[in-house]
Structure 1
């Protein structure tokens, strides 16, 4: 047996997303600079998948959450968004719930203890 990690295509990765995974989602962002020229760049959002809604339908969504500078940030990504270019699965934790909204409860208390 080999322990080679199989590279999944974007469609396979989208189908494999489930709560408890730590993912990095790359998205194309269009901006206007000061001169009025449109510029396109790649931005990523890394966090824990806390919910997946509507299965594999066209309108399916994934909620990803992280704590950034002491503030909980949640972002909802439609899975079939055309601006999503790549999804990397960093880690996968075994969870027993479909929705992990409780995961970041009490994070402010933990921050106070850490300071």
Structure 2
């Protein structure tokens, strides 16, 4: 059954080219929102908490602070409304899933820039 699923995913699901990113990177994700018969583009800028899955089922979670409230959003990579992804900063973290980032506030919530390291 698994080869059949893989065949259908490769054949019928449109693949989009996005830059490589991982946990700790700061991204801006542009996606389309439909309101009635109008569509508009909205963006979500935040830090990648995790990247999960492979192929057509790959998802990534982004967290941003909106005032004092943390907002997280999960984006499937093959979502049709996803227009583009920009990598604003590459972050240096030692884990693939940085759930501890949820508890950090203020200066402790800063992630070091990966370009300053060798």
Q: Which TM-score tier does this pair reach, normalised by the shorter chain?
A: 0.7 to 0.9
Tell me, what secondary structure is at the counterpart of 2:93?
coil
Q: Which runs of 5+ in 2 are unaligned?
A: 1-15, 107-118
Alignment TM-score, normalising by the size of structure 2:
0.73
Q: Is the Cα–Cα contact under 8 Å of residues 24 and 91 in structure 2 kept in the other structure?
A: yes
Tell me, what secondary structure is at the counterpart of 1:98?
coil
The Cα RMSD (Å) is 1.6
Q: Which runs of 5+ in 1 are unaligned?
A: 1-9, 33-37, 111-115
Instruction: Choose between structure 1 and 2: higher strand proportion.
Output: 1
Mapped partners of 2:44, 2:72: distance in 1: 10
Instruction: Choose between structure 1 and 2: higher helix proportion.
Output: 2
The alpha-carbon deviation at position 57 of structure 1 amounts to 1.6
Structure 1 residue ranges (4+ consecutive) displaced by more than 4 angstroms after TM superposition: none
Q: Is the Cα–Cα contact under 8 Å of residues 18 and 84 in structure 2 kept in the other structure?
A: no
Paired residue total? 92
